[in-house]
Structure 1
Amino acid sequence: MTKFSFTFHRPDPNSRARLGRLETPHGVVETPAFIFCATKAAIKGVTSEQMQAEGTQFILSNTYHLMLQPGSDIIHKAGGLHKFMGWKGPMLTDSGGFQIFSLGHGSVAEEIKGRRNSNRPRTMLKITEEGAKFKSYINGQTYLLTPERSVQIQRELGPDFVVVLDECTPFHVDKRYTARSMHMSHRWAVRSLEEFRRHDDDTQKLYGILQGGVYEDLRLEACDFVNNQDFFGHAVGGSLGASKSQMYDVVAMTMANLREDRPVHLLGIGGVQDIFNGVRHGIDTFDCVHPTRLARHGGALVRPENNPKPAREHIVLTNSQFREDYTPIEPDCSCHTCRNYTKAYLHHLLKAQELAAYTLITLHNVNFMNRLLAAVRQGIADKNLDTVEKSWVPEKT
């Protein structure tokens, strides 16, 4: 009997927003849910135990980084990622493709996120039908990552969910390139699926990725492809456009054409407004480095009513206005930080460059995202998602 299942229901017949239950060998995820990025088998600055204490259901790690350091064989010998990093809940790994192509092209990651400039060195050597050849950013060693090797590495890493290898294209490439890349990614996906089946022991499930850029006919073709492959779930990937409105259009059109019996993940998106938009179209899970990265720059996520600038999602605790503010980041927050420390203390830690600052603000931001998704689930259940959204999304200027 399978250890995996996904069930859902829509409390509001007039909305595509849905409540799901994703069962895995390492626990149940109530969806919609946020997946935190433990890129190198760690959430920067906090422990796995702290993540769970703040209500985290689900985390992901990065195949590209872990294959280079410490190596999937080391993690496999440790008993897999769960034992290696002391995480007791469900996990997902990506295929490594996004990092190969974003680091390799030097600017793809920024362009997918809407930022065009990057000074990163280019490590991509060659993309062929066989796979992606690239140089390690650690020691310059050359690697070839094929669809088969990506699945093999993810099997050694041992997460609950693994992802097919795909080429991730930026939005500045033309439709012809996007189509050619998508078709190659589909062939890679078939190879990934075949490799996965060869060693399938029901300890993992495979997600297929939807490419196609901003082009409706290509996205529809990608939907048709994944709908007819034996994937457990789907991940909406690739370039989602150069603006929020374009991203929302791509997500809406894609979700309207995906089969409904599988969980759907939206790759790399985690803004508060973006989550509400995705949920309304039936997205089940989201991931983004933003909440934890923001914390390392002194940014704390807050609801509009707790923000002196209600048009923003966060406050910047290095600002002088918090030097003598002896209140918590949010008065109604249950996180470890808000229960024990003030904005004045956090401001001091940041100014003194004490590492505890980054841990404490990260814990708050993790709790914030988990509270946000809990509120979203309750809003779906109560059929008042509009009201919930108003209390979480920053005011429009």
Structure 2
Amino acid sequence: MYKNFKFTITHQDQKTPARCGEIHTPHGIVQTPNFIFCATKAAIKGVDLATMKQEGTQIILSNTYHLMLQPGSETIRALGGLHKMMNWDGPLLSDSGGYQIFSLGHGSVSNEIKGKRNSNRPQSLLKITEEGAKFKSYIDGSYHLLTPEKSIQIQRDLGVDFMVVLDECTPFNVTKEYTEKSMHMSHRWALRSLAEFKNHDDESQSLYGIVQGGIYDDLRKQSTDFVNENEFFAHAVGGSLGASKAQMHDIVAHTMSMLSKDRPVHLLGIGGVSDIFNGIKYGIDTFDCVHPTRLARHGGALVKVSMSENGKEHINIRNNRFKTDPNPIDSECKCSTCMRYSRGYLHHLFKAGEILGMQALTIHNVHFMNKLMLAVRGAIREDRVEEEQKIWCG
């Protein structure tokens, strides 16, 4: 299996499990560790993919749930798949659709999964059975049943390099009994996903298995054993990661200690700078999150902690203190935004509601994340991860 895919570890850090590697795909090589930007609906909000490439982006992610509802996977297949439709010649990852279905079903896109329980979003998940998940479209109210087989079929239509098995994303505030029952069902769904993948494998795609088990060490052990023993190209760490960053780091560390070391490992939905450093020190190879681009649309510019206030990883360009600031976001940054625009001008753009402001900050944040990952890879090769973390996180 996976004849056109290969993962090679090119350097192992001498002090931590951090490692550099290369994931070879039919659409190019991903150098790891790396960050995957979210083109949720087959587009990066605020910038085109040519700009993403210019800023050093190697891989992006698109969302099965949203694309199955609009425009539909058959339409994307008719347009030649996501690569051709978006004019993106690099590697692509999709998710299975499960995260959105189950998080929406619990009342929000992500709040329940991440331990926050204050959302008033209407629930759309109707029923979970062994067959799959029945839900109502947020677009037109139509009813859908997503099964493991259907998820793989949709991802095949999308033409992505990396598929993900369908799983149930259990929220934070459920019992251990529910988490265990859900995990075993997710394992059965994963086997069905794998069987469907094998039945139509044309060697152009690969499949990720997902580790579940919530906050429970023994369940995480069962789930890591499951993915290690089955024919997945790579692993993704999913499910609830706890109620705090400390708990999340503990769960990731415990999970990573049990996963096989010869496959790439992805940490789902995590994109904070300090979280990335902690992840790579446990051996995580790739990360994804909407955070950098979503933050930009709300006036947030990513900076090293030493440049911000109150230990944050960004500054809010809408704050009045930037109204007459003639300096760029970061005088050391070489992105086109920092080379062209002052904080004062960016502040004006946001106050005036100009789209250029959101676009400019998105470009800066994309550049920042790619520069961060380049620095991380360099630090691992030189066995100085801790020192590099202090530069970025203080």
Question: 1:16 is paired with a residue of what secondary structure?
Answer: coil
Question: 2:112 is paired with a residue of what secondary structure?
Answer: helix
CA distance in 2, matches of 1:172, 1:107: 14
CA distance in 2, matches of 1:321, 1:114: 34
The residue type paired with residue 231 of structure 1 is F
**Deviation at residue 232 of structure 1 after TM alignment:** 0.1
Identical positions, percent: 64
**Deviation at residue 86 of structure 1 after TM alignment:** 1.4
**Deviation at residue 10 of structure 1 after TM alignment:** 3.7
2:353 paired residue number: 353
Q: Is the 8 A contact 1:10 1:16 kept in 2?
A: no
**Deviation at residue 9 of structure 1 after TM alignment:** 3.7
Q: Is the 8 A contact 1:108 1:170 kept in 2?
A: no
CA distance in 2, matches of 1:10, 1:55: 21
Partner deviation per Cα, 1:318-337 (whole Å, 9 max, x = no partner): 01111111111111111111
Q: Is the 8 A contact 2:103 2:113 kept in 1?
A: no
The residue type paired with residue 37 of structure 1 is C
Question: 1:36 is paired with a residue of what secondary structure?
Answer: strand
Residues 1:102 and 2:103 aligned together? yes
1:294 paired residue number: 295
The residue type paired with residue 18 of structure 1 is R
The residue type paired with residue 160 of structure 1 is D
Unmatched runs of 5 consecutive residues or more in structure 2: none
1:337 paired residue number: 337
CA distance in 2, matches of 1:384, 1:160: 32
2:260 paired residue number: 259
1:74 paired residue number: 75
Q: Report 1:266-345 matches (<5 A).
A: 266-307=267-308, 309=309, 311-345=311-345
Partner deviation per Cα, 1:181-221 (whole Å, 9 max, x = no partner): 00000000000000000110110000000000000000000
Q: Report 1:1-397 matches (<5 A).
A: 2-107=3-108, 109-307=110-308, 309=309, 311-393=311-393, 395=394
Aligned residues: 393
Q: Is the 8 A contact 2:40 2:61 kept in 1?
A: yes
The residue type paired with residue 332 of structure 2 is D
CA distance in 1, matches of 2:335, 2:220: 40
CA distance in 2, matches of 1:41, 1:67: 11
Question: 1:14 is paired with a residue of what secondary structure?
Answer: coil
Q: Is the 8 A contact 1:112 1:242 kept in 2?
A: no
Partner deviation per Cα, 1:40-70 (whole Å, 9 max, x = no partner): 0011111011111111111000000000000
Unmatched runs of 5 consecutive residues or more in structure 1: none
CA distance in 1, matches of 2:267, 2:194: 20
Q: Is the 8 A contact 1:292 1:365 kept in 2?
A: yes
Question: 1:275 is paired with a residue of what secondary structure?
Answer: helix
CA distance in 2, matches of 1:241, 1:168: 13
Length-normalised TM-score, structure 2: 0.98
Q: Is the 8 A contact 1:161 1:207 kept in 2?
A: yes
Superposition CA RMSD, Å:
1.1
